[in-house]
Structure 1
Amino acid sequence: MDGTNIALTLFFLYWLAVIMLERKGILKKYNISTYGPVLMIRTTHGLKLLDKLAIPKKAWRVYADIGIRLMFIGMIAMFLVIILSDLAMLASIGDNSMPEPGKFNEARNIFLIPGVNEFIPLTWGIIALVVTLVVHEFSHAILCRVENIRVKSMGILLAVVPIGGFAEPDEEELFGKKEEEITYENDPYGDRRLGITINDDEPEKKVVKTDEKIATRTQRARILAAGVMANFVVALIAFTLLFGPVLGAMSPLGDTMIVDVAEDSPAYAAGIRENMVITQIDDTQIGNVNDMLEYLEGLDTGTMVTLHAASDRIISTYDVEVIDPDIEPSGISIQSIVEDSPASAAGLEAGTSIMYIDGSPIRSYTDFQSIMNTSVPGQEVTVEIGREDTEGTTSYNVTLAQHPDVETKGFLGVVTSYDGQVATSLGISVGEFPATAYLELFKSIPQMLKGLAGWIILLGLPIIGFAGEGFPGFSGTLAQFYEPVGWAEPFGIGVFWLANALLWIGWLNFYVGLFNCLPAVPLDGGHVFRDYMNAFLFRVTGNEEKAEHLSALVAATFAMLILMSFLFMIFGPYIVHGF
């Protein structure tokens, strides 16, 4: 039985225990409610603290008023994103360009649940989710006390492990209505608590209107917007710390990593292992793979070099012998040939590899790019091609055309790929990760927020990253390329933990804040939207009952439209391409 099955088994055993304890009335005895497998553990301790925190009422109201405006901005932005996504998907059906089903539209990846969403790491995701829910709910609670709305209880949400916190305002004071209490006796399966009607004969929840709503529309909006505002503020603080002092305390060790070591090589005997980052050979700094290859070029067999390599950010030196200076370049693979291009005219074929151009070895994509960047239209070059099933190379004379994007540059007309692994004369293979450029690009994100591209990068960072690879954080192999410097040096690996925590706390708070802006009940944005729609329709109709009915209908329509949009995003590709 694998880990997933064990976890599911334990979870269902826990859920069974919850059901049994609820039926025996044990949970109710301790003021614990259940929503499926989620326990709401209530307490009245800490309510006095809310009153103390709510003392600067004017400041809190200004805070919440800003939150209302941000909520409407987020509401419009999120609704436009959903509508544009739907239109793009509908257009793709018309021109047969609907993307095939993939991980980006899987149902589990639509929801921001750590351990379920494959893009969100479990540990950092849980930490971020707890912070997100706690600040959201307690902001509601503080604004309730600011507006003199009673908070009945506070507590934690538990589903095997704590998944968040909550504050329970008095709904009669907040919304001006009192609902019939639903317990296990009148709702044994929990369907009514979830808004599900089993049959038409089932009595509806009784709603008793009070003579007067205690909270005004503005007060309710402040209370509801406070949670969203808290998420945005926490996201701002987290990202400010991340993109400022934390990333500023990281320095790249180098871009060259050892990806393979021959076990019978002197390098292996000297202690060289995979995933070490090479920083220096003898007295020469190694910035990238080409720096290393250029230094080793021309060294004779038996020459000893001192290799500086870092493992877990600790740099050690290793004396390594050159064993094979005449290694054939690995080349770059030709994935496809551009039609009517010089490569096509010369007879180059997909599935082969470019090994040499004008006698210069192509050991990496950097070599190929460097040669092509210095070429000119009309230049004749000799391209040597290698095939997997044939020894040696075949030469082709190719006259370069004008590059379609840069008039002064030559154009060969091949689409290439590079596996990133280069064999060296030391009996090791190395790969290159642009650690320096990656960190600089990461630091530049705040400057990019002046344009739309920056916001797209920030919103999609953990999922898409900078080039579709996603960015889970500074962990695993990626963390090997960096070391803490300055104030963070004494903390060692702790600075990477801090960076990961800030990344996920910022990103999840930002996303949850935006999601709660959507005009769909029961989300905060849905309640605020319905309240303001009610006020607008009352001005138009002059009839309070009619305005309330129409606003509820409009809000329900928006909620259904948003739900259907999410379902379309998930199932659209499967409907077109099949399940």
Structure 2
Amino acid sequence: MNYYNLLLLFLLYWLFVMFLDRRGILSKYNITAYGPILMVRTQKGQRLLDKLAVHKSFWRIFANIGLPAMLIGMLVMFLLILFVDFALIRSFQTQTIPPPTRINEPRNFFLIPGINEYIPFEWGVIALIVTLIVHEFSHAILCKVEGIRVKSMGILLAVIPIGGFAEPDEDQLLGKKEEKNEKEPEPAPPKKVATRGERVRVLTAGVMANFATAFVAFILFFSLLGSISPVGEVMVTSVIPGHPADAAGVKPNMIITQLNDKQVNSAEEFMIYMNTLQPGSKITLNVIENRERKVIDLVTTSDNSTYQGIKVYDVVPGSPAEAAGIKPDMVLVRVNNTEIRGLDDFVSFMNSTEPGQKIDVYVLSNNSANASTEVFKNIELTSYPYDKNAKKGFLGISYAPDTGAVSYSSGIGVGQFQAKSFLNMLESIPSLLNRVEGWVYLFSLPIYGFTGNGFPGFSGLMTYFYEPVGWAAPFGNGIFWVLNILMWVGWMNFYVGLFNCLPAVPLDGGHVFRDVMTSSLSRIIGNGEKAEKITNAVVILFAVLILMSLVFVAFAPYAAHGF
């Protein structure tokens, strides 16, 4: 479905919401419409909140821990925004601003499954629901702990859930006073107004709950990675019609594990072995199709030619490869004087390079026998963008399972996915969290991954390369579902928690920043009213600055390169 159809459906939905609102049907069910956004309230769950709030000491300690966590997150996020702004301004000055990418698209600024293209819909919906529940329930529980009335709870809907809320009594929480009509009867006894400490605990509880949920989810995710194991790394990427493999039933996406009882560890090994066979040789393939092991026999033909190299799957924006003109679907066959027969050759060569080194890259325009060779000379390698400690040079191309070679004697095209290395890289992330690079990997995993393509979880072709082992074997595909849910629950809670730390009202971090700053200034200048005025001005300034920064980051590449 294209964007125009989606826009039409959304407009029809909006008209339907307006119709229900004007008829009073929404208010009848305690639903408020703000344009196309529905605020669905409920009074249910109050007894559950009362039961959960019984352990007051625990919840107060939990929320108190959240204050330093929020202040650290606030500082990190604010410095990150300033750093990005500074980098973009410098790029404008040097005319090196990168072209727009998917990251700059407004829809990818929101963590809404089905709109954000990096978030898989099914896992994203589950993660979003969990994130909203733990965040808003924590606010509500702390309100109960501090004796603040929770008027309602609910969700925000715009066709799908986009947010949640716990609606405390603002008179009590924020000290807001409602305007009274002179003709109204005498008001009831004044309500309790939360102290600054109580208010901060309520506000930090949501962020702390998100961080705690992310922490638990990530611990489980990285622990459960040990329950899956690579089954092989060589995949059938193509089958030539009319050739022996086609007649024998070999199909794309099969994983080749053995060839004539010889373990197949790489696409290069497969091609070398196939080159040694005489016409008419009988071969036996051990393959895995949809996690089912099969044995296939076939006989080679007289055509024993091969096509080798690695196919460029994607080019990292702003990389030396992009600057040189290398494009996806080109086939890299040689670097300097090194022939690239497979991924092992390419990885081995790149491991021997260093930042600043210049190389010549030879590519084919496609994988046909008559493809012409193109040379990109004097490409200067840079250092790795996410690992400043890496000694090798960075070119900026990524490859995928469709990378590889074709054996025409069998009619099989094979490619290699570094399943073992990829799993090892995922497992190594926790050990890197004592450095900034580790947090960058974790935070950008779904967007950049390890090669610039992003890691959406164990789904699609990727699951073909792994199988559950040990205690997880009876669960079959279920272990991948668990891993995906844990990864997205952890990532979304981590992201939402950090975002809410920003010192901008109406985010939780904005309210906490205002309280902390007012308290600090009052001690310094000794005038609470003056401190509050200064704080309010600073909070407004920060909110405007952060909003303008986000807009600048989103539209700066378009301003430089055109929409």
TM over 0.5: yes
| Residue aligning to 1:340 | none
**Aligned-partner residue type, residue 486 of structure 1:** G
Question: For 2:557 and 2:282, how far apart are their aligned partners in 1?
Answer: 58
Please state how far the C-alpha of 1:497 moved relative to its aligned partner: 1.3
* 220-229 vs 485-494, greater mean Cα deviation: 485-494
Q: Matched residues in 1 for 2:115 and 2:76: separation?
A: 27
The equivalent of 1:266 in structure 2 is 244
Q: CA deviation at 1:362?
A: 4.8
Which piece of structure 1 moves more, 568-577 or 132-141? 568-577
Are the counterparts in 1 of residues 343 and 416 from structure 2 also a CA contact under 8 Å? Answer: no
Confirm or deny: 8 A CA contact 1:276 1:310 kept in the other structure: yes
Matched letter for residue 430 of structure 1: V
Equivalent residue in structure 2 for 1:525, among 506, 509, 529: 509
Task: Give the alignment partner of residue 406 of structure 2, picking from 423, 437, 444.
Answer: 423
Q: Give the match's secondary structure for 2:276.
A: coil
The structure 1 residue matched to 2:200, chosen from 176, 197, 221, is 221
Please give the secondary structure, in 2, of the residue aligned with 1:441: helix
Q: Deviations over 1:287-315 (max 9, x none)?
A: 11122123323211111111111111111
Contact (CA 8 Å) 1:329, 1:355: kept in 2 or not?
A: no
CA–CA distance in structure 1, aligned partners of residues 556 and 190 of structure 2: 48
Q: CA RMSD in A?
A: 3.4
Give 5+ residue unaligned stretches, structure 1: 182-207, 335-350, 376-382, 395-402, 406-413
Asked if 1:315 corresponds to 2:293, the answer is yes
User: 1:542 and 1:18, CA in 2 relative to 1: closer, same or farther beyond 3 A?
Assistant: same
Distance 1:490 1:568 in 2: 51
CA distance in 2, matches of 1:570, 1:218: 37
Contact 2:525 2:531 in 1 (8 A): yes
Q: Aligned-pair distance for 1:373?
A: 8.4
Instruction: Give, in angstroms, the shift of residue 390 of structure 1.
Output: 10
Match of 1:280 among 251, 255, 258: 258
Match of 2:274 among 274, 296, 304: 296
Q: Is the 8 A contact 1:355 1:361 kept in 2?
A: yes
Deviation, 1:88, is 1.0
Q: Structure 1 pair 416/561, CA: closer, same or farther in 2 (3 Å)?
A: closer
Aligned mate of 1:549, from 528, 533, 540: 533
2:169 corresponding residue in structure 1: 170
- Asked if structure 1 preserves the Cα contact closer than 8 Å seen for 2:510 and 2:539, the reply is yes
| Deviations 1:504-547 (CA, angstroms, capped at 9, x unpaired) | 11101000000000000000000000111112222333333322
- Following superposition, the deviation at residue 551 of structure 1 comes to 1.1
SS of equivalent residue, structure 1 residue 442: helix
Find the counterpart in structure 1 of residue 489 from structure 2. 505
Tell me if the contact between 1:143 and 1:226 (Cα under 8 Å) persists in the aligned partners: yes
The answer on whether the counterparts of 2:172 and 2:191 sit within 8 Å (CA) in structure 1 is no
Does the 8 Å contact 1:329/1:361 carry over to 2? no
Aligned-pair distance for 1:21? 1.5
Pair 1:132 & 2:131 matched:
yes
2:545 is aligned with 1:561: yes
Alignment of 1:148-187 (within 5 A): 148-179=147-178
Structure 2 residue 551 is the aligned partner of structure 1 residue 570: no
Deviates more, 1:547-556 or 1:361-370: 361-370
User: Which residue identity lines up with residue 232 of structure 1 in the other structure?
Assistant: F
- Secondary structure of the 1:166 match is strand
The 3 A distance-change label for structure 1 pair 372 and 563 is closer
Give the equivalent residue in structure 1 for 2:122.
123
In structure 1, the partner of 2:305 is 327
Give 1:69-148 correspondences, 5 Å limit.
69-148=68-147
Relative to 1, partners in 2 of residues 1:313 and 1:333: Cα closer, same or farther, differing over 3 Å?
closer
Tell me the secondary structure at the aligned position of residue 256 of structure 2.
strand
Q: Residue 221 of structure 2 aligns with which residue?
A: 242
Whole-angstrom CA distance in 1 between matches of 2:99 and 2:362: 37
One-letter identity of the residue aligned with 1:241: L
Instruction: Give the match's secondary structure for 2:415.
Output: strand
Q: What is the rounded CA distance, in whole Å, between the counterparts of 1:575 and 1:432 in structure 2?
A: 40
CA contact (8 A) 1:21 1:27 kept: yes
Equivalent residue pairs, number: 511
Corresponding position of 1:488 = 472
Counterparts of 1:464 and 1:315 in 2: how far apart (Å)?
Answer: 33
Give the structure-1-normalised TM-score: 0.81
Superposition pairs for residues 48-67 of structure 1, below 5 Å?
48-67=47-66
Supply the distance in 1 between the matched residues of 2:562 and 2:412 (Cα, whole angstroms).
45
Show structure 2 runs of 5+ residues with no match: 181-186, 313-329, 354-360, 374-380, 384-394
Deviation for aligned residue 1:132 = 0.6
Q: 2:452 aligns with which of 465, 468, 478?
A: 468
Letter of the aligned partner of 2:294 in structure 1?
S
Output aligned runs, 1:401-412, within 5 Å. Answer: none
Quick one: distance in 2 between partners of 1:129 and 1:79?
24
Q: In structure 1, how many angstroms separate the alpha carbons of the residues matched to 2:363 and 2:10?
A: 57
**TM-score calculated relative to the size of structure 2:** 0.83
Q: Tell me how far apart the structure 2 counterparts of residues 180 and 42 of structure 1 sit (CA, whole Å).
A: 24
Q: CA deviation at 1:404?
A: 13
Aligned partner of 1:46: which letter?
G
Tell me if structure 2 keeps the 8 A contact 1:31–1:41: yes
CA contact (8 A) 2:398 2:451 kept: no
Larger Rg: 1
Write the letter of the residue equivalent to 1:553. A
Q: Deviations over 1:395-417 (max 9, x none)?
A: xxxxxxxx999xxxxxxxx9999
C-alpha distance in 1 between matches for 2:503 and 2:552: 18
1:573–1:430 distance in 2 versus 1, CA, 3 Å: same
**Equivalent residue for 1:257?**
235
Which deviates further from its counterpart, 73-82 or 366-375?
Answer: 366-375
Runs of 4+ in 1 over 6 A off after TM superposition: 210-213, 355-358, 371-375, 383-394, 414-419
2:200 alignment partner AA? A
Shift, 1:89, TM fit: 1.0
Secondary structure of 1:157's partner?
strand
Matched, 1:432 2:416: yes
Letter in 2 for 1:555: V
CA separation of 1:416 and 1:167: change in aligned 2, threshold 3 A = closer
Q: 1:390 to 1:538 in 2, by over 3 A?
A: closer
Tell me the CA shift for residue 500 of structure 1. Answer: 1.1
Aligned partners of 1:256 and 1:431 also within 8 Å = yes
Distance 1:52 1:477 in 2: 46
Query: Shift in Å at residue 87 of structure 1?
Result: 0.9
Question: Is the CA contact (8 Å cut-off) linking 1:332 and 1:416 kept in structure 2?
Answer: no
Q: 1:371 to 1:540 in 2, by over 3 A?
A: closer
Pairwise CA distance, 1:32: 1.6
Gap change, CA 1:450 and 1:372, over 3 Å in 2: closer
State the percentage of identical aligned residues. Answer: 52
Q: State which drifts further: 314-323 or 516-525.
A: 314-323
- Quote the offset at 1:224 in angstroms: 0.4
2:252 counterpart SS class? coil
SS of corresponding position for 2:147: coil
Q: Output one character per residue of 1:140-189: Cα deviation in whole Å (capped at 9) or x when no partner.
A: 000001111111122333333444542211111111113469xxxxxxxx
